Structure 1
Amino acid sequence: MVTTRIAPSPTGLFHIGTARTALINYIFAKQNNGEFLLRMEDTDVARNKSEFEDDIKSGLEWLGLTWDGDIVYQKNRTKRYLDVVDALVKKEKAYTKDGAIWFKIPEGTIIFHDLIRGEVVFDGADLKDFVIMRSDGSPIFYLSGVVDDHDSDITHVIRGEEHLSNTPKQIVLLQALEWELPTYAHVPLILNADRSKMSKRKDPVSITHDFKNKGYLPEALINYLALLGWHESETQKHVPSNAEGSKLKTKKSETEIYNLNTLIKIYDVSRMQHGGAIFDREKLENMNHHYIQKMGDDELREKLNAYKGDIKNDVYNRYVSITKPRLNKFSDIANDTSWLNNPVDHDPELLVFKKSTKDTTLKALNAILTNLPKIVTYEVTKIVDMLQEVVEGNNLQNGDVFWSARVALSGLEKSPPPAELMWVLGREETIMRIERAISFLNP
Structure 2
Amino acid sequence: MEVTVRVRYAPSPTGHLHIGGVRTALFNYLFAKRHGGRFILRIEDTDLERNVTGAEQEMLSGFRWLGFNWEEGPDVGGEYGPYRCTERLPIYQQYLQRLADTGAAYPCYCTPEELQADKERGVPHYVGRCRHLTDVERHAREQEGRVPSWRFAIPAHRTIQFRDLVRGDVSFQTDDLGDFVLMKSNGIPTYQFQVVVDDALMKISHVIRGEEHLSNTPWQILVYQALGFDVPQFAHLPQVLNSDRKKLSKRDPNVQPVHVYREKGYLPQAIVNFLALLGWSPGGEQEILSMAELEERFDMDKISKSGAVFDTQKLAWMAGEYVRRLSVESLTEMVAEQLRQRAVSLPSHADEKWLRSVVALFQEKMTCAEDFVELADGFFHKDIEWEPEALDVLRDEHAQAVVLRYIEFAKSDAEWTPEQSRARFKQVQTELGVKGRQLFMPVRAAVTGALHGPDLQQTITYLSKAWVVYRAEHVLLQVTPLR
Q: Please confirm whether the aligned pair reaches a TM-score higher than 0.5, indicating the same fold.
A: yes
- The answer as to whether partners of 1:351 and 1:408 remain within 8 angstroms in 2 is no
1:277 is aligned to 2:308: yes
1:151 is aligned to 2:201: yes
- The answer as to whether partners of 1:301 and 1:320 remain within 8 angstroms in 2 is yes
1:11 is aligned to 2:14: yes
| CA displacement at 1:157 relative to structure 2 | 0.8
Look up the match of 1:84.
Answer: 95
Secondary structure of 1:343's counterpart equals coil
- The answer as to whether partners of 1:105 and 1:127 remain within 8 angstroms in 2 is yes
Amino acid at match of 1:90: D
Secondary structure of 1:206's counterpart equals coil
Look up the match of 1:114.
Answer: 164
Provide the rounded CA distance (Å) in 2 between the counterparts of 1:230 and 1:432. Answer: 55
| CA displacement at 1:206 relative to structure 2 | 3.2
Post-superposition CA distance 1:375-433 (Å, at most 9, x none): 97832795498189469928799589736644644x67875354442032344553355
- The answer as to whether partners of 2:425 and 2:439 remain within 8 angstroms in 1 is no
Q: Which ranges in structure 1 are unaligned for 5 or more consecutive residues?
A: 238-253
- Count the aligned residue pairs: 421
Look up the match of 1:244.
Answer: none
The alpha-carbon distance between structure 1 residues 145 and 295, as it changes in their structure 2 partners (threshold 3 A), is same
Look up the match of 2:66.
Answer: 63
The alpha-carbon distance between structure 1 residues 132 and 413, as it changes in their structure 2 partners (threshold 3 A), is farther
Post-superposition CA distance 1:11-69 (Å, at most 9, x none): 12111111111111111112222211111111111111123222211210111012222
Mapping for residues 121-270 of structure 1, pairs under 5 Å: 121-233=171-283, 237=284, 254-270=285-301
Look up the match of 1:26.
Answer: 29
1:421 is aligned to 2:459: yes
Look up the match of 1:102.
Answer: 151
Q: Return the index of the structure with the highest Cα Rg.
A: 2
| CA displacement at 1:347 relative to structure 2 | 5.1
Q: TM-score, length-normalised on structure 1?
A: 0.84
| CA displacement at 1:332 relative to structure 2 | 2.3
Provide the rounded CA distance (Å) in 1 between the counterparts of 2:419 and 2:372. Answer: 20
Provide the rounded CA distance (Å) in 1 between the counterparts of 2:450 and 2:339. Answer: 19
Among all aligned residue pairs of Structure 1 and Structure 2, give the percentage whose two residues are the same amino acid.
33
Provide the rounded CA distance (Å) in 1 between the counterparts of 2:302 and 2:102. Answer: 41
Post-superposition CA distance 1:236-278 (Å, at most 9, x none): x3xxxxxxxxxxxxxxxx5522111111111102210101011
Provide the rounded CA distance (Å) in 2 between the counterparts of 1:130 and 1:123. Answer: 15
Amino acid at match of 2:292: N
- The answer as to whether partners of 2:9 and 2:25 remain within 8 angstroms in 1 is yes
Look up the match of 2:368.
Answer: 329
Q: TM-score, length-normalised on structure 2?
A: 0.77
Look up the match of 1:378.
Answer: 417
- The answer as to whether partners of 1:352 and 1:358 remain within 8 angstroms in 2 is no
Amino acid at match of 1:318: S
- The answer as to whether partners of 1:350 and 1:407 remain within 8 angstroms in 2 is no
Provide the rounded CA distance (Å) in 2 between the counterparts of 1:278 and 1:210. Answer: 20
Provide the rounded CA distance (Å) in 2 between the counterparts of 1:293 and 1:152. Answer: 42
Q: Which ranges in structure 2 are unaligned for 5 or more consecutive residues?
A: 75-82, 110-147
Secondary structure of 1:199's counterpart equals coil
1:353 is aligned to 2:401: no
Provide the rounded CA distance (Å) in 2 between the counterparts of 1:156 and 1:273. Answer: 18
- The answer as to whether partners of 2:335 and 2:370 remain within 8 angstroms in 1 is no
Instruction: Let me know the Cα RMSD of the aligned residues.
Output: 3.3
Amino acid at match of 2:215: S
- More displaced stretch, 424-433 vs 269-278: 424-433
The alpha-carbon distance between structure 1 residues 127 and 349, as it changes in their structure 2 partners (threshold 3 A), is closer
